[in-house]
């Protein structure tokens, strides 16, 4: 069976599924999936070098904001 965000198991009904992939250098970019919706990825063109963060409402699961913090350039 298919589980949300491609996880190996389903989450309990009162929990959100998520998957965070860190990426690999300049070859594979990071991605963030939350409750079977891709929030950040190369395809959405909203990722960058450094920390990629998605702020999500913990009750509703609604995406509030995404941001990238470039830790290399200071």
In a domain, 74, yes or no: no
- At residue 36, the 3 state secondary structure works out as coil
User: Which stretches of the chain are assigned E, i.e. beta strand?
Assistant: 18-21, 31-34, 37-40, 51-56, 63-69
Burial bucket for residue 15 (CB in 10 Å: 0-12, 13-18, 19+)? exposed
Per the structure, the complete domain to which residue 16 belongs is given by 4-69
In a domain, 20, yes or no: yes
In the chain, the number of structural domains is 1
Q: What is the pLDDT of residues 12-58, one digit of tens each?
A: 988 999 999 987 777 788 899 999 999 999 889 899 888 899 999 99
In a domain, 64, yes or no: yes
In a domain, 28, yes or no: yes
Query: What is the CB-side half-sphere exposure of residue 33 using CA atoms within 13 A?
Result: 13
Give pLDDT, residue 74. Answer: 66
Other C-beta atoms closer than 10 Å to the C-beta of 4 total 16
């Amino acid at each position: 069976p298919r589980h949300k965000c491609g996880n190996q198991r389903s989450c309990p009904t009162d929990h959100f599924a998520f998957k965070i992939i860190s990426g690999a250098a300049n070859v594979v970019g990071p991605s963030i999936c939350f409750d079977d919706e891709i929030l950040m990825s190369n395809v959405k063109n909203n990722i960058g070098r450094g920390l990629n963060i998605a702020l999500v409402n913990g009750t509703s699961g609604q995406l509030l904001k995404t941001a990238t913090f470039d830790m290399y350039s200071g």
